Amino acid sequence: MDRWGGTVLNVKKSYTEQFRPQFHLTPPAQWMNDPNGLVLYEGEYHFFYQHHPHSNVWGPMHWGHAVSRDLMHWEHLPVALEPDEHGHIFSGCCVVDWNDSTGLFEGSHGLVALFTHADQHPETGQPRQRQSLAYSRDKGRSWSKYKGNPVLEESGLIDFRDPKVFWHQETDRWIMLLAAGDHIRFYQSENLQEWEYSGEFGSRDGSHDGVWECPDLFELPVEMSGGISKWVLIVSIGDHPSYPEGSRTQYFVGHFDGRSFVNEDSANSIRWLDHGRDNYAGVTWSNSPDEDGRRLFIGWMSNWKYANLTPTESWRGAMTLPRSLSLREQDGDIILIQTPVREATGLRKQTKELRGITLAPHTPFRTEVQDDLLEIEAEFEAGSSSEIIIKLQYSEPNETLIGYNSREQWLYIDRSASGLTSFHEAFACRHGARLRPSQGRVKLHLFLDRSSIELFADDGSVVLTDLIFPEGTVRSIEFSTDSGEAVLTSLCIHSLDSIYALEETSYAGK
């Protein structure tokens, strides 16, 4: 037994359990939620995450840890941060302290983690959230807590968590964002240890359907704009019983002056990062852009409405595919674009290509598939049809529908009959988003894993991410219309390799 009462394990995992994703990041065992501490350092993408190593439901939070060189294949490392006398280890970030501003690296450089310590106030018993620091001198393999923890607290705030820190060149300062219930607070520092409040944003902006969490802020160029760039602020909002969507993520586009953020939209406008039900708490990698100029993002693929109830046993929780973010001007607006990282193409093993297929209500096109790990690229001309329907048919009487209604310009996923859904009343549903194809054709890019769908439309201008729990394996894909004719102008179906196909991963729990 370890100091927290859990059993120390050293178990080889085959990753073959029912519903276990085969090309998405999952914990070797037990519970996973929010991505934390994402940082690119000396050729490795570090991924930390909220982790309960002794249960498959949320509990005392630790930081799990994995590293990768290609964003697809991950090596799981021991738990990086454990609860201590200051509390549990909630969400946070990592930065590279290149110039040893902390004085912790003897004139060299290393990794610094800033995170929320969560406990109860000893006098009032109220929840208490304070910000703390840890550091690593060996590329993240071991971590030391700073002796002066916590480094920042606001006694009047109960919700005060999820620090995201970056270096702001123009002001020569470290900047910290923190979620504070219904707004974001900003702080500045020269050494990552002493912080000064500089401003806040959001108490009257965007959606307040739930508590604000997991902020991120970064600058992106606008495609084809001649050098114009904008700042993007990402904010997740927690589940509220009154809203069927549950937890989800919004974003704002605007300006940052080193002290606070200014939203360029009207205060009551809302931009959703993902229109599915299962992309939450996502953030980007620090020390980014990477060598290819990419701003890389990943989210937790679940929803707080049912995250503790999904039908898995030895593990629970998965991440989205890593995505590259950009900004694009469309219909006079600047929108956030998400595309799967190019490294995902390395999983392709076989491809079926078809072109020029006419679709009609009584003449659907069906193609058999031999694999349950799929990447599908499809392009349609809507023609006289009012709705194009893609049916993913499973060996059991389960099916998941993807549709586009051209009259309403509405893209949707219907998982009502997708398999196991009874674990929560809100899971079986049909939901979607407005889609006005920028090139006049409906372009869909779909990734299907054993318990998820990620749908990128119109080159990433609209994204839907959903969990599904089919009781069988996918056997065929059917394309049809509900009325009139449409043309499936091109179709590529790629069967994908499992990231575990070549080796098993060992795990030593702490």
Q: Give the whole-angstrom CA distance, residue 424 versus residue 430.
A: 15
Q: Give the whole-angstrom CA distance, residue 409 versus residue 429.
A: 19
Using an 8 Å Cβ cutoff, are 359 and 377 in contact?
Answer: no
DSSP letters along 430-472, please?
Answer: EEEEE---TTSSEEEEEEEETTEEEEEEGGGTEEEEEE---SS
Query: Rounded to the nearest 5°, which phi and psi values hold at 411?
Result: -105, 135
Report, as residue numbers or ranges, the catalytic residues: 34
Overall residue count recorded for the chain in this entry: 510
Using an 8 Å Cβ cutoff, are 246 and 277 in contact?
Answer: yes
Nearest CA among 288, 200, 205 for reference residue 250: 205
Q: Which residues touch 438 (CB under 8 Å, ≥6 apart)?
A: 330, 458, 459, 461
CB atoms within 10 A of CB 326: 19
Q: DSSP secondary-structure letter at 322?
A: P
Q: Please identify which residue in the block is written with the tokens 């040893």.
A: 100
> Between the CA atoms of 456, 66, 283 and 36, what dihedral angle is there, to the nearest 10 degrees?
150
Using an 8 Å Cβ cutoff, are 174 and 187 in contact?
Answer: no
Q: Give the whole-angstrom CA distance, residue 158 versus residue 35.
A: 22
User: 200-220 in b/e burial notation, b at 16+ Cβ within 10 A?
Assistant: bbbeebbbbbbbbbbbbbbeb
158: left (phi over 0), alpha (psi -120 to 50) or beta: alpha
Q: Give the whole-angstrom CA distance, residue 116 versus residue 215.
A: 13
3-class DSSP state for residue 244? coil
CB atoms within 10 A of CB 328: 18
Nearest CA among 210, 300, 244, 209 for reference residue 425: 244
